[in-house]
A and B are shown apart, each in its own frame.
Chain A
Amino acid sequence: MKAKVYVTLKDGILDPQGKAVQQSLHHLGYPAIKEVRLGKYIEIELSPMPLEEAKRAVAEMCRKLLANTVIENFRFEVE
């Protein structure tokens, strides 16, 4: 059982890393790029458990540690 967690900066939060990547992509000849925002992708291998239980646990992990909800949003898939 595996959880895939995506942590992204909230809208309106400045992302200097994204800006730097965006500029680099412009220099590489991709002028059509409007914005780049960087986030984190986290894979969690879980012992088998009921799906709902796994979702609850992963949501809790996100709120407690994986994301800082002052500046970040999270979403995840469990499969």
Chain B
Amino acid sequence: MRFGILVFPGSNCDHDCYHVIKHLLGQPADFIWHKETDLRGVDAVIIPGGFSYGDYLRTGAIAQYSPVMKSVRDFARAGGPVLGICNGFQILLEAGLLPGAMLRNRSLKFICKDVFVRVETAETPFTAAIASGRVLKLPIAHAEGNYYADPETLRELQENRQVVFRYCTKEGRISDEANPNGSLDSIAGICNRSRNVLGVMPHPERCTEGLDGNTDGRLFFQSVLEQSGIQSR
């Protein structure tokens, strides 16, 4: 399964994603520069974390108009799996590929720590191999992860089961204390209506090897491979 990893000026998790896909999962991976328009026939697109365009104006605001995003739009519309991580999630929101917007964390602080998230649905390409209700430990690193949507959009997200991850306690309980950034409904990740586009604030690519005793992030990548019938290493 060939993965395309988008690279914007200011992306800084692109090589982490590349390492996971290429060296851990043994799958081909291509970097795709934001000025390119050809996705080169990749089977999945990853929009990595970082600070595209220095977060100028708003996070993801300028990246949404990079030439490559038109191709990503077409790819997503055709049902191709797209994973946006952190800044990648912010770009997907600005591009309108996912509904809602990000606000500054309610603490105003850049938060970099491990959090727990509950998998609300296995019905996305990147959570297909994860039991619904399972609690994952994943790192977050962001200043704008305070998810917001108007009440009608939130209701639609809930009704269509598009809320994929919610911040929770270690035991899987949703509470205000377990919500690191003030996100509406403790939302840590959502998918689009056709479920092939997923945006998440935590960084699965940062906990895949067990060097820090945690391999929960690997499940994202294994899911998308298993869905395509590929046995990962």
| Range of interface residues on A (Cβ < 8 Å) | 10 to 19
Whole-angstrom CA separation of A68 from B106 in the bound complex: 19
In the assembled complex, A39 has its CB within 8 A of some CB on chain B = no
Query: With A70-B148, A70-B150 in contact, is A14–B65 under 8 Å at CB?
Result: no
Is chain B's binding surface mostly helix, strand, loop or mixed? loop
Whole-angstrom CA separation of A70 from B106 in the bound complex: 18
In the assembled complex, A20 has its CB within 8 A of some CB on chain B = yes
Please give the distance in Å from B173's CB to the nearest CB on chain A.
24
Chain B interface residue count, CB cutoff 8 Å, equals 20
Whole-angstrom CA separation of A29 from B98 in the bound complex: 44
Please give the distance in Å from A44's CB to the nearest CB on chain B.
13
Contact B61 A16 (CB under 8 A): no
In the assembled complex, B149 has its CB within 8 A of some CB on chain A = yes
Query: With A65-B57, A70-B150 in contact, is A16–B108 under 8 Å at CB?
Result: yes
Whole-angstrom CA separation of A65 from B131 in the bound complex: 39
In the assembled complex, B120 has its CB within 8 A of some CB on chain A = no
In the assembled complex, B128 has its CB within 8 A of some CB on chain A = no
Contact B108 A70 (CB under 8 A): no
In the assembled complex, A66 has its CB within 8 A of some CB on chain B = yes
Q: Which residues of A contact B62 (CB under 8 A)?
A: 65
In the assembled complex, B103 has its CB within 8 A of some CB on chain A = yes
In the assembled complex, B73 has its CB within 8 A of some CB on chain A = no
In the assembled complex, B47 has its CB within 8 A of some CB on chain A = no
Is chain A's binding surface mostly helix, strand, loop or mixed? mixed
Within 8 A of B (CB), among A9-41: 13-14, 16-17, 20, 40
In the assembled complex, A71 has its CB within 8 A of some CB on chain B = yes
Q: Which residues of A contact B106 (CB under 8 A)?
A: 14, 16
Whole-angstrom CA separation of A71 from B101 in the bound complex: 7
Contact A20 B103 (CB under 8 A): no
Contact B103 A66 (CB under 8 A): no
Whole-angstrom CA separation of A20 from B104 in the bound complex: 12
Pick from B61, B94, B108, B149: contact of A20, CB below 8 A: B108
Contact B103 A71 (CB under 8 A): yes
Contact A68 B108 (CB under 8 A): no
Whole-angstrom CA separation of A66 from B56 in the bound complex: 11
Please give the distance in Å from B216's CB to the nearest CB on chain A.
29
Whole-angstrom CA separation of A17 from B146 in the bound complex: 13
Closest Cβ neighbor of B149 among chain A residues = A70
Closest 9 CB pairs of A and B: A70-B101, A71-B101, A16-B108, A16-B104, A16-B106, A68-B101, A20-B108, A68-B58, A71-B148
Could you list 16 examples of A-B contacts with CB < 8 Å?
Answer: A13-B148, A14-B103, A14-B106, A14-B148, A14-B182, A16-B103, A16-B108, A17-B108, A65-B57, A65-B61, A65-B62, A65-B65, A70-B99, A70-B101, A70-B150, A71-B103
Residues of chain B whose beta carbon lies under 8 Å from any beta carbon of chain A: 57-58, 61-62, 65, 94, 99-101, 103-108, 146, 148-150, 182
